[in-house]
Amino acid sequence: MHTPLVARCVRGLESAVAAEVLSSGLGVVTDLRHREVHFRTSRPAPQLRTADDVFLFAAERPDVGTTKHDLHALAELAELTDADRLLSLRRALTKTPHRLTGIDVSASFLGRRTFSRYDAEDVIGPALARQLGVPYHSRRTGAASPPGHWGWRLTLDGTRATLMLRINDRPLHRRAYKRHTIPGTLHPPLAAAMAAMADIRPGHVVLDPCCGAGTLLIEAALAQPEARFHGFDLSPDAVTAARANAVDLPVGIRRSDAARLPLPDGEVDRVLCNPPWGSQAHARGLVAADPTRWWTELRRVLAPDGTAVLLLPDPDTLAGALRHDLTPLHIQRIRVSGAQPYIVHLASTDRARRRRATSQASGGAAG
């Protein structure tokens, strides 16, 4: 069975999701689109840590026009869908004999349209419900769907209208470990993608100097449990949240200022962090008084061959890295929660130079 699936993800993480599909031997990637990775798999329960959720591909047709008048054409997607086959595939994948009591649809589109997402949902939803012989629950009222309603997803990307069926009742991005949270906490699939980029090996010492609720270290520890993980935060609430979330994992959490860490020089192989420079979390303590101290301390604890994967809000913050003899190996802009920060993979300037020289000698490009 080579089931066509679609992984939805944060904008900018499409290649990270595709890499996870391929490196985990999950299947074959057939297309990369805006926030979507299409792939085929024969695995029963596809778990992807870098994706927001995974869907069964149902049908697609050319995108409809931009006005409400064009929306009726979406009903064709219901006719193109082999709904009975999809429902039994979903039952087989989740290994649960869930009874279907109804359906709902959530839609999203790119570009300016003169209709709302609810207008699109309320065209395809009733058409699908008629075909399945179950009620349709419109999301327009804001009321939650009754239990047993299976979620469908419609995306209009300017070229194609794609219909999918959600596999799991709970989206993949909701993690069971995340029982405690703090303002500005990181989206777990983004943390998983940053951890993958850091290439953490067994025995590595991994640091998050502003760990918040611990998301980055937890995702990293789940991916590579044979490393050692140190998290620090100045906020007692964050320390409590991270300790509770990371229980049972090899992650040590302590209270400290990121500008004065209780670690020896050159101790750390990998740094993972989204520092408190966004709109939701503010720097405090020594870092608030002088942000350059954050970089100085990171440079002090990082081993000569160490690297850092950081989420930075804008290119200005990157200047701090360059001034501290850290060079970007890779920069990726993403879009998450209405902001467009950068994932930046940094190495000491010496290491980056050596890497470029090796790459040029072997005829490749550094990246």
Ligand X SMILES: C[S@@+](CC[C@H](N)C(=O)[O-])C[C@H]1O[C@@H](n2cnc3c(N)ncnc32)[C@H](O)[C@@H]1O
Tell which one of 5, 123, 163, 216 touches ligand X (CB under 6 A): 216
Least separation in angstroms between residue 134's CB and ligand X is: 39
Under the criterion CB under 6 A, does residue 210 sit at the interface with ligand X? yes
Tell which one of 252, 285, 313, 328 touches ligand X (CB under 6 A): 285
Under the criterion CB under 6 A, does residue 194 sit at the interface with ligand X? no
Write out the two tokens for 73.
Answer: 């054409």
Alpha carbon distance 159, 106 (integer Å): 19
Q: Which residue, 161 or 190, has its beta carbon nearer to ligand X?
A: 190
Q: Which residue, 21 or 246, has its beta carbon nearer to ligand X?
A: 246
Least separation in angstroms between residue 268's CB and ligand X is: 15
Under the criterion CB under 6 A, does residue 310 sit at the interface with ligand X? no
Least separation in angstroms between residue 336's CB and ligand X is: 12
Under the criterion CB under 6 A, does residue 198 sit at the interface with ligand X? no
Write out the two tokens for 352.
Answer: 């980056």
Strand partners, 61: 161
Alpha carbon distance 86, 166 (integer Å): 10
Alpha carbon distance 49, 80 (integer Å): 31
Tell which one of 283, 326, 343, 347 touches ligand X (CB under 6 A): 283
CA dihedral (185, 199, 251, 286) positive or negative: negative
What residues have CB less than 8 Å from 327, skipping those under 6 apart?
321, 346, 347, 348, 349, 352, 353
Helices assigned H by DSSP within the chain: 14-23, 75-80, 83-94, 117-132, 188-198, 215-223, 236-245, 285-289, 292-301, 315-323, 349-361
Tell which one of 5, 18, 154, 234 touches ligand X (CB under 6 A): 234
Write out the two tokens for 292.
Answer: 């350059």
The residues in 92-131 that bind ligand X, with binding defined as CB under 6 A, are: none
What residues have CB less than 8 Å from 358, skipping those under 6 apart?
none
Size of the site for ligand X (CB under 6 A): 27
Stretch that binds ligand X, among 24-32, 128-136, 282-290, 343-351 (CB under 6 A): 282-290
Residue nearest to ligand X (CB): 212
Under the criterion CB under 6 A, does residue 287 sit at the interface with ligand X? yes
Tell which one of 52, 233, 269, 297 touches ligand X (CB under 6 A): 233
Stretch that binds ligand X, among 5-13, 15-23, 195-203, 229-237 (CB under 6 A): 229-237
Burial of 328 (0-12, 13-18, 19+ CB in 10 A): middle
The residues in 126-155 that bind ligand X, with binding defined as CB under 6 A, are: none
Under the criterion CB under 6 A, does residue 196 sit at the interface with ligand X? no
Under the criterion CB under 6 A, does residue 348 sit at the interface with ligand X? no
Alpha carbon distance 321, 298 (integer Å): 10
Question: What does the angle CA 86 – CA 88 – CA 89 come to, to the nearest 5 degrees?
Answer: 60
The residues in 318-347 that bind ligand X, with binding defined as CB under 6 A, are: none
Q: Which residue, 210 or 347, has its beta carbon nearer to ligand X?
A: 210
Tell which one of 192, 193, 227, 238 touches ligand X (CB under 6 A): 238
Strand partners, 6: 38, 55
Alpha carbon distance 253, 211 (integer Å): 8
Q: Which residue, 125 or 188, has its beta carbon nearer to ligand X?
A: 188
Tell which one of 46, 189, 276, 320 touches ligand X (CB under 6 A): 276
Contact 346, 328 (CB under 8 A): yes
Under the criterion CB under 6 A, does residue 46 sit at the interface with ligand X? no
**How far from the centroid of its chain's Cα atoms is residue 68's Cα?**
32
Q: Which residue, 213 or 308, has its beta carbon nearer to ligand X?
A: 213
What is the DSSP pairing of strand 228-233 with strand 205-208?
A: parallel
Alpha carbon distance 215, 41 (integer Å): 28
Q: Which residue, 255 or 333, has its beta carbon nearer to ligand X?
A: 255
Under the criterion CB under 6 A, does residue 29 sit at the interface with ligand X? no
**Would you tell me which residues interact with ligand X (CB under 6 A)?**
182, 184-186, 210-213, 215-216, 232-235, 238, 257-259, 274, 276, 278, 281, 283-287
